[in-house]
Amino acid sequence: ALILGLESSCDETAAALVTSDRRIIAHTLAGQEAAHRPYGGVVPEIAARAHVEVMAPLVEAALAEAGITLADVDAIAATAGPGLIGGVMVGLVTGKALALASGKPLVAVNHLEGHALSPRLTDPDLAFPYLLLLVSGGHCQLLLVEGVGAYRRLATTIDDAAGEAFDKTAKLLGLGFPGGPAVEKAAALGDARAVPLPRPLLGSAEPHFSFAGLKSAVARVVGQYSAQDVAASFQQAVVDCLIDRTRRALASVDATALVVAGGVAANASVRGALQALATEHGLRFVAPPLWLCTDNAAMIAWAGAERFAAGLTDPLDFPARPRWPLDPDAEKVRGAGV
């Protein structure tokens, strides 16, 4: 089957065409960094307007790149949440309109499911169940991915997401926006042992993550050390926390592989440390190529392909969901957010 995927939940607008046998036929993407840079972060209203301007042209460009029309597509997958509501609505409404006009089914995709299944797009051998570290701008979770639509959340952050910590650290260091790649670049020139920083919840019996204390500690040392040394020490602290929590989770599950996804998975230190942890456990390590880690529409089209193959399509009145947990049961037990 051939699936058209649409993404617009944060500050990337994207359209892609992906087949159920893992061929990426076309993918287009428009970032909004320049529009948000003066504000040091994503401004929801600016993001929504930018999505409106480029969504339809990106769909047309993807179809043109593939040399096909909507009639050749089997289903239309669009991110329906979680994310900034104005942006989510742009992609979802576009997907609904295209579905209505073409008579093709709509697949409403959870953006986090897009990240969670993205490693299977480029690795045909990745089988369920796998332990997934989902590290992005808004989330930091350990999930046992048992199948399409079957996600068991083992841990989450009790405060900031890992990507958020990278972005805030970049801001504190004056490294600009977006922060993750800037911190990684500065860290390459610094000494990771130069600045003493805390590792929140390291060794804790609780399964969860915490990064707020690390961010506050960074705020206190800014100016006392070089930006490169702070960046390197911060990045090492994040890696230590991610590895400690993932090691704890590995002990409690039977997984076929250790997998990382989400924007922070583009970080080479994070990938390297997880690879070593997997090797230590005799497990395969799987990470998507860098461009599939940060937001894109190929992962949404792929999640759409997986859902479509499982017979999961959605009605045209499917709502946009600013909040949409992958494992609702976990949130019921712990309460909102945690």
Report whether 134 belongs to an annotated binding site. Answer: yes
Tell me the closest approach of the beta carbon of residue 232 to ligand ATP, in angstroms.
13
Residue from 94, 228, 246, 267 touching ligand ATP (CB under 6 A): that is 267
152-168: buried (b, 16+ CB within 10 Å) or exposed (e) per residue? Answer: ebbbbbbbbbbbbbbbb
Give which of 133, 311, 90 is closest to 239, Cα–Cα. 133
Binding mask 216-255 for ligand ATP (x = CB under 6 A): ----------------------------------------
Angle at 232 between CA 226 and CA 235, to 5 degrees: 135
Strand order in the sheet with 284-286: 150-156, 140-147, 130-135, 257-261, 284-286
Which DSSP string corresponds to 179-242? Answer: HHHHHHHHHTTS-TTSS----TTTT-SS--B--HHHHHHHHHHBTTB-HHHHHHHHHHHHHHHH
Question: In the complex with Fe ion, which residue's Cβ is closer, 180 or 190?
Answer: 180
Total residues found in the chain within this entry: 338
Distance of alpha carbon 52 from alpha carbon 59, whole angstroms: 12
Coil vs helix vs strand at 81? strand
Identify residues 175-194 at the interface with ligand ATP (CB under 6 A). 178-181, 184
Segment interacting with ligand ATP (CB under 6 A) among 53-61, 122-130, 161-169, 192-200: 161-169
Q: Determine if 7 is a binding residue for Mg ion (CB under 5 A).
A: no
Sign of the dihedral through C-alpha 116, 121, 127, 128: positive
Q: Determine if 11 is a binding residue for Mg ion (CB under 5 A).
A: yes
Report whether 252 belongs to an annotated binding site. Answer: no
Report whether 115 belongs to an annotated binding site. Answer: yes
Report whether 81 belongs to an annotated binding site. Answer: no
Q: Determine if 86 is a binding residue for ligand ATP (CB under 6 A).
A: no
Tell me the one-letter amino acid at 49. Answer: R
Question: In the complex with Fe ion, which residue's Cβ is closer, 90 or 218?
Answer: 90
Q: Determine if 164 is a binding residue for Mg ion (CB under 5 A).
A: no
Tell me the closest approach of the beta carbon of residue 211 to Fe ion, in angstroms.
17
Give the number of C-alpha atoms closer than 13 A to the C-alpha of residue 259, restricted to the C-beta side: 30
Question: In the complex with Mg ion, which residue's Cβ is closer, 78 or 195?
Answer: 78
Six-digit token string for 121: 């797009």
Binding mask 7-46 for ligand ATP (x = CB under 6 A): --xx------------------------------------
Binding-site size for ligand ATP (CB under 6 A) equals: 24
Where helices occur in 67-142 by DSSP H, the ranges are 85-102, 111-122
Q: Determine if 262 is a binding residue for ligand ATP (CB under 6 A).
A: yes
Six-digit token string for 185: 């670049």
Strand order in the sheet with 106-110: 24-31, 12-19, 2-7, 75-81, 106-110
Identify residues 105-164 at the interface with Fe ion (CB under 5 A). 136
Tell me the closest approach of the beta carbon of residue 326 to Fe ion, in angstroms.
12
Tell me the closest approach of the beta carbon of residue 118 to Fe ion, in angstroms.
10
Q: Determine if 159 is a binding residue for ligand ATP (CB under 6 A).
A: no
Tell me the closest approach of the beta carbon of residue 89 to Mg ion, in angstroms.
18
Q: Determine if 138 is a binding residue for ligand ATP (CB under 6 A).
A: yes
Report whether 267 belongs to an annotated binding site. Answer: yes
Distance of alpha carbon 286 from alpha carbon 123, whole angstroms: 8
Q: Please report, as ranges, the residues that interact with ligand ATP according to CB under 6 A.
A: 9-10, 83, 111, 115, 136-139, 163, 166-167, 178-181, 184, 262-264, 266-267, 294-295
Residues tagged in the binding site annotation: 111, 115, 134-138, 167, 180, 184, 267, 295
Residues tagged in the binding site annotation for Fe cation: 111, 115, 295
